[in-house]
Structure 1
Amino acid sequence: MHPPSRPEAAFAVELDAVRPDLSAPYAAALPGARAAVLSRLWRALAHEPLPWVARRERGREGLTLWLADGRRLHGPRADPYATTAYAAEVGLDGRPCDDPAGLITALGVPHGSAFAAELANSVASLALSRAGQPATDRAPVTGWEWEQRVVDGHPYHPNCRARPGFSVAEQLAYGPEHRPVVELGSAAVDDCLITGEWPAWLRDGGRVLIPVHPWQAEHVLDTPSHKGPTAHPLMSLRTLALPEGPHIKTALSTRLTSSVRDISVYSITMSATVSAFMETVAAHTDGLLDVTRTLGAVSAGSPDLAAVVREAPERYARTGERVVPVAALATTDLPRSPGWLADFARLALAAGLRLLDLGVALEAHGQNLLVVLSATGAPVRLVYRDLADIRVSPARLARHGIAVPELAGRMVTDDETALRRKLFGSLIGGALGATAGSSAALREALSTAVRDLPRTPDLAALLEEPLPTKALTLMRLSPGTPGDIWARLPNPVMEPDVSSRSF
């Protein structure tokens, strides 16, 4: 019998009060949620450069981790690209454990207590997300309906559904997978930074109206918030789609998955320049990729009170086409030819490598990257959104005669490793890996897709080196280390004995 964690029990008590009809489905969903989070955690333990893992041994009966203190952790083989829950239980010195938070607590690693609390929250939130799904469902029609099909969150992060600071009632009211309609607040300000064209409908005379997420209004802001527009929450939770209108990215100063979701003043300052620049660069992809434009951005001098208005991706669909976030591809049965995954991989790699060669590395994970599907379900183009985390190489741009924008800060780098990590880690280790769902399926798709691609130095690096990916668990266990920490995954298109040398 699994003893319920504190968040699991607390969620059950809250559900009994606010949605008693979900109490039984929630309890039934808990074992599967634990297995899903434990599988993500086991993937991290198997592949990330954790300092307290001394060595790893793969055998016929699974994978054994020898810890620096002499203990032994055993579990199944960890496919780095699997998206199913394959680790319902692991053993620590022969003692079985099916609870990810309990495992981290038992390991006693530095900074493990805070991470264990997040894992417990992730399990409870994931069970809640699964419990609230309808038994039957019609096919999505609008873009926001596709977004709300993504129930399990990040396919590889153990904190896939961690929402500390959100009550059960707030998750039900604001979580996209629960399919609510959210009434945004509106803060009127006199003095603010504006870039781009702030819409007239978000002005009140001489004052600027900043859309405010209701959670932010209640828990963070001192500024009075008045009634704003209603909208549908998207995958990131803080970004919402207006009915028949643009998307609004709001500040949300809490930790979701890994990051605190405010909007930096730096990103507001750069938003118009980056948007115009990316519109120019995307024109060099010969129609492979469009970028949603930032229409306007505003900050009242604080990351806690800011907003961005940008185009909806659907505007790039032609008659009969659908625009689907890559993260949603696995959530419904779409018509697919036998070679569909290879066709999609070829399209995504062609666009991503072309932009990388020009001097732009996209953060092309399943949330930022969308695919345009024809009426028959064939992938025909891509749409990219949210430009805050791209990387721009002035040297590469100059080689192609493209004007270098007036950018500064972390976005600008000529470091080849940093540029390739940004694209490969998000596109292969994220979007394509999660769509394939296993190393075998990803290997088959990539092996076919790369045959038709130009042989550039970037493609050579992709084919000949282990695949970089963010070490998401190590990053959560390293609060004093700024920036990203990277792991090296077995490359699905390399020979296994070469690809896994860093294992």
Structure 2
Amino acid sequence: LRDADYDTVEARLTGAHPYHPSYKSRLGFTMIDNARFGPECASAVHPVLLAVRRDRCRASASATVPGQNAGALLSDAARQRFDTALARYGVDPADYLPLPIHPWQWEEVAAPTFHAAFAQGDLIAIGTLPERYLPQQSIRTLASLDHPGAPSLKLAMNMVNTSTSRVLAPHTVCNAAPLSDWLACLVASTTWTPPIAAPILLREVAGVSYMPAAPAQGQYGALSCIWRESIHGHLTPDERALPMTALAHLDSDGEPLLAPWLDRYGAAIWVRRLIERAWLPVLHLLWVHGIALESHAQNMLLIHVDGLPERVALKDFHDGVRFSRQWLSTEPPALTVPPPEHALVNPNSFIETDDADELRDFTCDALFFVNLAEFGAMLADHGYLEEPAFWRIVAGVIRDYQADHPDLAEQFARFDCFAPTMAIELLASRRFLPEVRLRTRDAPNPLASALASTRATSLTTDHAPTEASCNR
């Protein structure tokens, strides 16, 4: 995959998330389903296009979408197909919104269990989208093959991948666009002082979710779509994108996918640059604005120039943001409140908490445990850096950042990433046991012991990139 483009790497990664039990298994998928729709196998997918009555759905759209209407995101060919089909049914297209769904979801859930909705005209089957899409590593997110700059589609699926069901709760679909717009405004108004760089936010620009009057088993959040910006419209001509999960990937020759870059720049220099350009921006948002992001490896993209980390792209905000109003730097947007029963089926899904450690752990569990730790372990396995040295570099970069921002001392103490322990998710338990409570445990924090070492030996000077080593 070393020479492959971003969308191909995103789809074809076979490693990644080594800490996740049975990362590539999908509860609810058959072998035939994997061959048809798995990112490792599928060549193209055509989503099924439904029309949903406006008064039977929840929907929102970004201020960047014309008319704040998800219909504006359809291609000309899809829009014509949509309008023609509705005219044939004798209904006004203005009364309906487009709702793409995954073809597997159509076969397994929509067609068998939503008869009444189709009979009543709440839902109308239009056909398939004319464009081809490629499944990404999360399976339910599809990237456009025919128009790479077009938004990706994040589609509800009644199956379990990694540690959670892949349906899309209606309130999270409604919150996707306002959260994305709010975060984008915050990033634009934030001061980003080198070596950190402003992150790219892949905004979730629209969402539509069908709301049955009385949902039957398996229908809640089963017909939902979120449109997410493509990375391709954000890159400069000399930039390339790489899924962050690829950092721990071994290519077909058994060597790290990153081996040429690590050999060219040196592992210590490359790691330091990675933390400065990709990890510090996430921590900066926590410490400056009080916003915790679930930036695990699937939710981050490395943006590089000639293999050297340049900046980061972040995604998945509809259910991957937490905050406390008392620590926010600005008022949050008006959000749709989850129904009371949502916490009973997914207690891990919420936005607001007044527990500072919970916000810190939400950020650091994703950022360090199921993300950076995997990369550090791979570097040690292949002789690039022993894990203690790796964590000393990470701790040194964070320590230097904190020294440069004494005005944030209170926030550093409140959200202490150098605490002796942190709560991390019990991934196997979450995968195989019912979602009836939070499943976490306290684990030793490698940054804590690494910080003590960096106080004695300054790796900042030892591993600072020289102008020659970073010459592009």
TM-score by length of 1: 0.66
Distance 1:184 1:237 in 2: 13
* Pair 1:425 & 2:314 matched: no
Which runs of at least 4 in structure 1 moved beyond 3 Å after TM superposition?
A: 438-442, 455-460, 474-478
**Aligned residue among 277, 282, 285 for 1:355:** 285
Shift of residue 467, structure 1, vs aligned partner: 3.3
**Map of 1:314 onto structure 2:** 232
SS, match of residue 479 in structure 1: coil
**Map of 2:242 onto structure 1:** 324
**Map of 1:140 onto structure 2:** 4
Contact 1:212 1:225 survives alignment (8 Å): no
Shift of residue 362, structure 1, vs aligned partner: 0.6
**Map of 2:354 onto structure 1:** 414
**Aligned residue among 206, 209, 215 for 1:299:** 209
Counterpart AA for 2:201: V
Distance 2:156 2:435 in 1: 24
Distance 2:291 2:445 in 1: 23
Counterpart AA for 1:140: A
SS, match of residue 28 in structure 2: coil
Distance 1:199 1:183 in 2: 18
**Structure 2: any 5+ residue segments left out of the alignment?**
62-68, 84-92, 115-124, 212-219, 250-256, 339-349, 381-386, 404-408, 454-472
Contact 1:325 1:367 survives alignment (8 Å): yes
* Pair 1:227 & 2:128 matched: yes
TM-score by length of 2: 0.70
Distance 1:322 1:165 in 2: 35
**Aligned residue among 389, 393, 396 for 1:445:** 393
Matched ranges for 1:468-487 at <5 A? 468-476=423-431, 478-479=433-434, 481-482=436-437, 484-487=438-441
Cα 1:423–1:457 shift into 2, 3 Å = farther
Contact 1:188 1:209 survives alignment (8 Å): yes
Distance 2:229 2:276 in 1: 26
* Pair 1:184 & 2:73 matched: no
Greater relative contact order (CA < 8 Å, ≥ 6 in sequence): 2
Distance 2:297 2:47 in 1: 26
Distance 1:235 1:415 in 2: 32
Q: Which moved more, 1:459-468 or 1:211-220?
A: 459-468
CA deviation vs aligned residue, 1:207-241 (integer Å, no higher than 9, x gap): 33311111111111135572223201111100000
* Pair 1:157 & 2:105 matched: no
Cα 1:480–1:391 shift into 2, 3 Å = closer
SS, match of residue 40 in structure 2: helix
* Pair 1:465 & 2:420 matched: yes
Contact 1:290 1:316 survives alignment (8 Å): yes
Cα 1:163–1:249 shift into 2, 3 Å = same
Distance 2:239 2:292 in 1: 27
Shift of residue 285, structure 1, vs aligned partner: 5.3
SS, match of residue 220 in structure 1: helix
Contact 1:464 1:494 survives alignment (8 Å): yes
Distance 1:149 1:313 in 2: 17
**Map of 1:252 onto structure 2:** 157
**Structure 1: any 5+ residue segments left out of the alignment?**
1-136
Distance 1:220 1:424 in 2: 36
Shift of residue 468, structure 1, vs aligned partner: 2.7
Shift of residue 162, structure 1, vs aligned partner: 2.1
* Pair 1:210 & 2:99 matched: yes
Shift of residue 308, structure 1, vs aligned partner: 0.8
Distance 1:341 1:379 in 2: 9
Distance 2:376 2:314 in 1: 20
Contact 1:217 1:225 survives alignment (8 Å): no
SS, match of residue 340 in structure 1: helix
Percent of aligned positions that are identical: 27
Distance 1:494 1:275 in 2: 33
* Pair 1:173 & 2:36 matched: yes
Shift of residue 450, structure 1, vs aligned partner: 2.2
Matched ranges for 1:35-434 at <5 A? 139-141=3-5, 143-191=6-54, 192-196=57-61, 197-200=69-72, 201=74, 203=79, 204-205=82-83, 206=93, 207-222=96-111, 223=114, 224=125, 226-228=127-129, 229-243=131-145, 244=148, 245-283=150-188, 284=190, 286=192, 287-301=197-211, 302-331=220-249, 332-333=257-258, 334-336=260-262, 337-338=265-266, 339-357=269-287, 358-374=289-305, 376-387=306-317, 388-397=319-328, 400=329, 402-407=330-335, 408=337, 410-434=350-374
